[in-house]
Structure 1
Amino acid sequence: MKKRKHLLGLLLVILLGVGLAGCGMDRAPITSESEGVWDHFFVFPLSWLIIQTAHILQGSYGLAIMAMTVVIRLFLFPLFLKQHKSSKAMQTLRPEIEKLREKYDQKNPEEQKKMQQEMMSLYQNSGINPVAGCLPLLVQMPILMAFYFAIIRTEEIATHSFLWMDLGSPDPYMIMPLLAGLGMFLQMQLSTRHMSTEMAAQMKLMYYVMPIMIVGAGFALPAALSLYWFTGSLFMMAQTWLIHRNERKTERSDQTVSEAD
């Protein structure tokens, strides 16, 4: 039950981020004179990079958004990999953690304290920091959100088109929001394929809620954002596939060495 609450909490945070962009937060054009730490040191530098990238790409702001999305994802890759490894390590300990939960009465404060002490010993003996999986996510979120707002508040984007879309307006044919939603769905399917059955079941709600949120937001928000979400999903699918492929190679290599011994 607690895990489900955590997942629902994460969903609410993501929904809040999307909702704030569309409904309440400052969407005035971002410039070098914009005040405040968030605008001046986070949003504006990314807006400037989008503009410079567009100049390199012969004025195509659509290609600039896609290129910058890939660059930012590559920059964040080490953090994502650390988060992935921490999550995988925690999965290996899951059977032991479940045994501890069954061993102690969760309603008894004394027994709950003993259980937490044994869990900490288990983490220490395994060389795992349970907080390590959260820290990379906390670092990634401000960067991704700053890029999100840089797209919304870069005035040049709103006045340019890409393919069939005016980047500053919702996609008139709703093609890109649907592609973004489909990309998110496939990304989540791929990322949970190698999870335990229990973890995959807990993530099932997000299979459908996240793509629906992306499609719904894409219908109302500028097409530039749907392009950003779609590109990000494509990158994440490729990244996840490569990580899992390397893990399978490592497992086969270890198995071969074990059999040789």
Structure 2
Amino acid sequence: MKKTSLFIILIVITITLSGCGASQQPITADSQGIWNHFFVYPMSWIIITVADLLNGNFGLSIIVVTILIRVMLLPLMLKQQKSSRAMQALRPEIEALQKKYGQEEQKKDPKNVQKMQQELMALYQQNGVNPAAGCLPIFIQMPVLMAFYFAIMRTEEIAFHTFLWFDLGNPDPLFILPLIAGLTTFLQVKMTAHQLQGPMRMVMYIMPIMIIVAGITLPSALSLYWVVGNLFMIIQTYFTVVKSPYVTTEIGK
């Protein structure tokens, strides 16, 4: 499974769980379960602590903590992108091997499957590439991002505060935040669309729609989180992917 596909599937699962009302009970220090006690509650505590430092402004707290988490995860993101670039550089040679040991050749001699795998592994070793290296950062990032997501949903104090023109505990009455969240999601996915193959490119249009629909029905605090996270990722992608000479030709296709 492609790393990008896996990342998108996990995001869809998160949105689906929240929309179905999963795990919406208020999070406290007494909440039971490993996920609640060691993941969601610490994130909730950080949000509350930062809000206290900012004179009780939970909107600013969400912005600050979102940026801090993204900065902390940045080395993992860069490692993931480095792995993706390395795999892209080897793509012509990988495709040549796949063509050499195509289905017809595999039917003639089942051992050709093993030969192809051996040559692929030799190719990876010669170039110092680990095809599984790009997956590990995702599995580390996702629990952190999901815990923060659910912490925003389940921190009771957030619902009693306002930020700018909206109540953090209610949907944006003007739909401005959901629309911005959808637009920034589209821009973020479009900037990395070269990594999507075939039908997966439809994600570029499906994901923004899902975000907008979710933003219209869910608390504005979540839309605020999506907007800030998307803006950070857009800036990060611009400097680490779009401006990179290694992927310019891919993006231009």
TM-score by length of 2: 0.89
Match of residue 184 from structure 1: 185
Which among 23, 26, 40 is matched to residue 26 of structure 1? 23
Match of residue 51 from structure 2: 54
Which amino acid in the other structure matches residue 160 of structure 1? H
Which amino acid in the other structure matches residue 183 of structure 1? T
Q: Is 1:174 aligned to residue 175 of structure 2?
A: yes
Q: Which residues in structure 2 correspond to 1:29-44 (within 5 Å)?
A: 29-44=26-41
Distance 2:155 2:27 in 1: 6
The alpha-carbon deviation at position 57 of structure 1 amounts to 1.4
CA contact (8 A) 1:7 1:203 kept: no
SS in 2 for 1:55: helix
The alpha-carbon deviation at position 135 of structure 1 amounts to 0.3
Q: Is 1:113 aligned to residue 128 of structure 2?
A: no
TM-score by length of 1: 0.86
Q: Which runs of 5+ in 2 are unaligned?
A: 249-253
Equivalent residue pairs, number: 243
Match of residue 100 from structure 1: 97
CA contact (8 A) 2:179 2:212 kept: yes
CA contact (8 A) 2:5 2:200 kept: no
Distance 2:7 2:59 in 1: 29
Distance 2:62 2:73 in 1: 16
Distance 1:70 1:12 in 2: 23
Match of residue 251 from structure 2: none
RMSD, aligned α-carbons: 2.2
Match of residue 64 from structure 2: 67
Match of residue 231 from structure 1: 228
Q: Which runs of 5+ in 1 are unaligned?
A: 252-261
Match of residue 128 from structure 1: 129
Seen in structure 2, the aligned counterparts of structure 1 residues 186 and 200 have a Cα distance that, compared at 3 Å, is farther
CA contact (8 A) 1:187 1:237 kept: yes
Distance 1:22 1:169 in 2: 14
The range that moved more, 60-69 or 98-107, is 98-107
Q: Deviations over 1:133-169 (max 9, x none)?
A: 0000010000000000000000000111111111111
The range that moved more, 37-46 or 17-26, is 17-26
Aligned-residue sequence identity (percent) comes to 53
The alpha-carbon deviation at position 15 of structure 1 amounts to 1.5
Which amino acid in the other structure matches residue 243 of structure 1? T
Seen in structure 2, the aligned counterparts of structure 1 residues 245 and 9 have a Cα distance that, compared at 3 Å, is closer
Which amino acid in the other structure matches residue 54 of structure 1? A
Match of residue 148 from structure 2: 147
Match of residue 241 from structure 1: 238
Distance 2:84 2:5 in 1: 18
The alpha-carbon deviation at position 110 of structure 1 amounts to 2.2
Match of residue 88 from structure 2: 91
Q: Is 1:13 aligned to residue 10 of structure 2?
A: yes
CA contact (8 A) 2:186 2:208 kept: yes
The alpha-carbon deviation at position 9 of structure 1 amounts to 5.9
CA contact (8 A) 1:62 1:224 kept: yes
